[in-house]
């Protein structure tokens, strides 16, 4: 598959602060590409630059061969945007909102009408087309927000955390819509700080943190980056008191990435095989604990982020 989006050495500063830091990645035509990172990682800033709402300070972005910083109007024409903040006109009905946004892309008359109806149908809001947004639940507003971004049938759809704050039913609806759009050939960039979602719907994922690319690949490729990484659960007969001293004693061992203590279960994430585990067990025994069980867990996608960045996603 060929590249549809190319982000190259992109940097964006807000004053002294660097929100996007020499970021490069490519999105292939027809894939759902996930941008995963904690709040403040620079996801929205990156999307704003891709969608021409902001300019980068360095680097370049090409969408469908169009240089988005130089040919803003052409670039806008091939994209649809579902922004992080719900952007709807409160005094317009659902269908009027969709028609307004689709008209910005040049649709008029019957074409505009049909496109708006199809988009509302697509997000499951046909029966609510005459309602105003304020009468709708958060999940319905999100879906309407999506309808506004897709009515003109963009080749690239850019979605910024579209499921934040929605009920389970709307969330499922949104994820299914994304699957259908993909089947219809739309290329999609999807940002989220939820691992599970990105895991469910994305073909490839870029993990970003502090504006930098940490890793990019399919889920399997990302997991294979951290095969040395393991989580161990140590169960003791006695409850373990979480103390600075214990954390320090364990934490100085090589490869220890994370320690969490909950009553009689201590979880340690280790990056260097089992050497340190043996030492931890002997520390526990010296402290008088009786170890009743030790369980090792091979890395799953949840631990990938922790292993690669040294901290949890949220």
Ligand X SMILES: Nc1ncnc2c1ncn2[C@@H]1O[C@H](COP(=O)(O)OP(=O)(O)O)[C@@H](O)[C@H]1O
Cβ atoms within 10 A of the Cβ of 263, count?
12
Contact residue for ligand X among 10, 19, 81, 112 (CB under 6 A):
19
Which range, of 11-19, 63-71, 268-276, 286-294, touches ligand X by CB under 6 A?
11-19
Between residues 40 and 165, which has the closer beta carbon with respect to ligand X?
40
Q: Which does 52 bind (CB under 5 to 8 A by kind): ligand X, Mg ion, none?
A: none
Contact yes or no for 259/189 (Cβ under 8 A): no
Q: How would you classify the pairing of strands 17-28 and 3-14? A: antiparallel
Which range, of 33-41, 56-64, 258-266, 287-295, touches ligand X by CB under 6 A?
33-41
Q: Which does 45 bind (CB under 5 to 8 A by kind): ligand X, Mg ion, none?
A: ligand X
Per CB under 6 A, does 37 bind ligand X?
A: yes
SS3 178: helix
Query: Closest separation between CB of residue 160 and ligand X, Å?
Result: 7
Helices (H), ranges, the chain: 43-50, 72-77, 94-103, 109-122, 138-150, 168-183, 195-201, 219-224, 244-251, 275-286, 301-309
Per CB under 6 A, does 40 bind ligand X?
A: yes
Between residues 81 and 261, which has the closer beta carbon with respect to ligand X?
81
Q: How would you classify the pairing of strands 256-262 and 79-82? A: unpaired
Query: Closest separation between CB of residue 141 and Mg ion, Å?
Result: 18
Q: Which does 245 bind (CB under 5 to 8 A by kind): Mg ion, ligand X, none?
A: none
Per CB under 5 A, does 44 bind Mg ion?
A: yes
At a CB cut-off of 8 Å and minimum separation 6, what does 117 contact?
Answer: 95, 126, 129
Give 217: exposed, middle or buried? Use CB within 10 Å, 0-12, 13-18, 19+. Answer: middle
Cβ atoms within 10 A of the Cβ of 104, count?
10
The residue among 127, 130, 122 whose CA lies nearest residue 147 is 122
Which range, of 37-45, 59-67, 89-97, 224-232, touches ligand X by CB under 6 A?
37-45
Per CB under 5 A, does 192 bind Mg ion?
A: no
Q: Which does 24 bind (CB under 5 to 8 A by kind): Mg ion, ligand X, none?
A: none
Query: Closest separation between CB of residue 83 and ligand X, Å?
Result: 11
Cα 211 from Cα 196, distance rounded (Å): 21
Cα 201 from Cα 209, distance rounded (Å): 21
Cα 132 from Cα 134, distance rounded (Å): 6
Query: Closest separation between CB of residue 24 and ligand X, Å?
Result: 17
Query: Closest separation between CB of residue 46 and Mg ion, Å?
Result: 9
From residue 187, alpha-carbon distances to 4, 34, 102, 119, 223 in Å are: 8, 11, 19, 17, 24
Which range, of 32-40, 104-112, 180-188, 305-313, touches ligand X by CB under 6 A?
32-40
Contact residue for ligand X among 7, 32, 41, 144 (CB under 6 A):
41
Which range, of 35-43, 57-65, 147-155, 259-267, touches ligand X by CB under 6 A?
35-43
Q: Between residue 43 and residue 82, which ones bind ligand X under the rule CB under 6 A?
A: 43-45
Which H/E stretch holds residue 157?
strand 156-160
Q: Residues interacting with Mg ion, by CB under 5 A?
A: 43-44, 84
Q: Residues interacting with ligand X, by CB under 6 A?
A: 14, 17, 19, 37, 39-45
């Amino acid at each position: 598959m060929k590249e549809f989006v190319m982000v190259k050495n992109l940097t964006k500063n807000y004053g002294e602060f660097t929100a996007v830091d020499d970021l490069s990645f490519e999105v292939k035509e027809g894939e759902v590409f996930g941008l995963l990172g904690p709040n403040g990682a620079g996801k929205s800033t990156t999307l704003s630059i891709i969608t021409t709402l902001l300019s980068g300070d360095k680097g370049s972005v090409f969408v469908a061969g169009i240089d988005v910083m130089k040919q803003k109007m052409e670039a806008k024409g091939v994209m649809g945007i579902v922004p992080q903040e719900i952007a709807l006109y409160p005094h317009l009905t659902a269908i009027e909102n969709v028609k307004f946004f689709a008209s910005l892309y040049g649709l008029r008359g019957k074409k505009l009408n049909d496109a708006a109806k199809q988009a509302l149908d697509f997000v499951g809001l046909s029966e609510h087309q005459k309602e105003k947004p304020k009468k709708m639940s958060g999940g319905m507003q999100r879906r309407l927000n999506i309808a506004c971004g897709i009515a003109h049938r963009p080749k690239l759809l850019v979605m910024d955390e579209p499921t934040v704050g929605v009920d389970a039913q709307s969330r499922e609806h949104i994820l299914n819509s994304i699957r259908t759009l993909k089947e219809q050939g739309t290329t999609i960039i999807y940002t989220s700080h939820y691992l599970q979602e990105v895991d469910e719907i994305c073909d490839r994922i870029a993990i970003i943190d502090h504006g930098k690319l940490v890793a990019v690949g399919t889920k399997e490729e990302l997991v294979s980056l951290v095969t040395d990484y393991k989580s161990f659960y140590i169960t003791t007969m006695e409850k373990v008191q979480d103390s600075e001293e214990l954390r320090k004693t364990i934490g100085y061992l090589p490869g220890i990435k994370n320690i969490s203590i909950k009553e009689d279960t201590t979880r340690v994430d280790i990056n260097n095989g089992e050497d340190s585990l043996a030492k931890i067990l002997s520390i526990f025994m010296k402290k008088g604990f009786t170890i009743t069980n030790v369980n090792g867990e091979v890395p799953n996608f949840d631990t990938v982020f922790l292993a690669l960045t040294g901290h949890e996603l949220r």
